[in-house]
Structures are given as C-alpha cells and as structure tokens.
Amino acid sequence: MQIDLVVLKTAKYGVSEGGDTVEVVERPAGGLTAVMVDGQGSGPAAKNISSSVATKAAGLIAEGVRDGAAARAVHDYLRTHRRAKVQASLTIISADLAERTLVTSRNSPCPVLVVGPEGQVTIEDVEALTIGVHRMVRPVVTQHPLLPCGGAVTFTDGVLNAGKRLASALDLDRLVNLVEANWLEGARATAHAVLEAALGAYEGPPGDDVTVVVLKIAADGDRTVREMHVTYPLAGFPGEGAR
C-alpha cells in the first residue's frame, strides 16, 4: 500500500498571491500530514497569516506533537501575536502509521469528507471555531482506522461557497457525489473533479481562493520508493507561454 496525497490550489481572480497555504510533513514515527490554512482576507496579507500558521503547525507535528495539540498551540500563537484581531481556518489530515489511524483535526467551517474502503463518504461537519480570536478554542478531532482504499477529502471555503449566489451553487451533496464517483480513479482524479466543479460553479473567474486536499491509502504501489511531484505556476516571468 501507499499514501497518495494531492493538493490543488488556485488564487482568487485579480490576486497574485492566494491566502491559502498547505504544508505537507512526514511524521516522525511514519506517515504523512497535510496542514491546510485559510488566512483572513486575501492577497499577501492573508498569505502571511496562513503561511506562518501552517509552517508552525507542520514544524510541531514533525517534532512529534500530536495534531490536536499542534492546532491548539498555533491558535495561541496567532491570537497572541495578532492580539486576537486576526483569524484563520485550520484543517489537519494525517495518515498516522504508528497508530494506524486516519486523523482529522478541524478549526474550520469547511467539512472533512472521510471516505471508507468501499468509497462511501461520511461528512465530518461538527461546528468548529476558527483559530486566532476566541480565548478557548479546541479543534474537533476524529480518528478512523487506516484502511486500504480509505482516505479523506477537504477544502477551503472557496470550494464550499463556490457559486453560492448563483444557480450553479456547489452544495455539499454534490461534492459528496463527486468524491464517490471519482474515488476509485485515485486521489488525483478526485481532487481535479472537486476543483473543476468549484471553478465551474463561479460561472467566471473564482471569487475566492480555492484549495483541495485529498489523501488516499492506495492498495497498490511500490513499497520502497517515495515520490513527490510538484508543479508551481510562474506567472509574469519572461518566456511565459513557451513550450
């Protein structure tokens, strides 16, 4: 088996730097964690918030701090350094090989879609306060057995609210259907299906930063080779558009 982790991001129209950040970290006792943060606002200011929070959370997890404790720590950090005037949404998804569990930690209005080995989806959407403002904030943490073909899908509010004021609004039922329909095709196909549906729901340029994270325990794959493939757009550079 292997862990397939896919992250897709695009920025709000007219903004060069999106306010969403995702950090991926290898867990010290085995496994992978994705930390997704949506900073308040948009553009460089929001990016500074999300980047600092995601980097700090990832660093704590890499040192062996449990996901829930890391979420509480970065809440205290953001609240202290920004004097309780700035908030951020935080979601952490982990494949923890030491405990053989799929762990989700949410401080976000956006749900996590937990996918079972048969492709069935369970929606985790218990109310969870964002970090940085309120005094007593705890993440909503769940654990599930780490099973072949299981996994999780999450996203920022750029997906959840896509086309909210239009007839093409992307509701949660449709997102669940998309995940179930594409899960057997793999993490990448599932992530692209969700992203494309969100962008299509805007009926034009996206009105918010859009980020999708998919983690799947694939039943096949090379057990000895670890692979990471990243593409990063370089808009505005000389020679852009050349092949």
| Tokens encoding 112 | 């996590």
Angle at alpha carbon of residue 9, lines to 73 and 13, rounded to 5°: 110
Q: Which domains does the chain have, with CATH numbers?
A: 2-218 (3.60.40.10)
- Centre a 10 Å sphere on the Cβ of residue 138 and count the other Cβ atoms it contains: 13
124 with 114: CB under 8 angstroms? yes
Average pLDDT over residues 25-43: 95
pLDDT class for 39, splitting at 50, 70, 90? very high
Statement: residue 100 has pLDDT above 80 = yes
| Tokens encoding 175 | 């997102």
117 with 148: CB under 8 angstroms? yes
In this prediction the pTM is: 0.93
Q: What percent of the chain has pLDDT over 70?
A: 95
| Tokens encoding 41 | 């606002």
What length is written for the chain? 243
Which residues are bridge partners to 86 per DSSP? none
Among 27, 48, 155, which residue's Cα sits nearest to residue 99? 27
Region of poorest pLDDT, from 129-133, 168-172, 180-184: 168-172
DSSP 3-state assignment of 134?
Answer: coil
pLDDT, the chain, mean? 92
Average pLDDT over residues 104-124: 96
Distance CA 94, CA 36 (A): 11
40 with 21: CB under 8 angstroms? no
Q: Which residues contact 68 (CB under 8 A, 6 or more apart)?
A: 105, 138, 139, 141
Distance CA 154, CA 34 (A): 10
DSSP 3-state assignment of 187?
Answer: helix
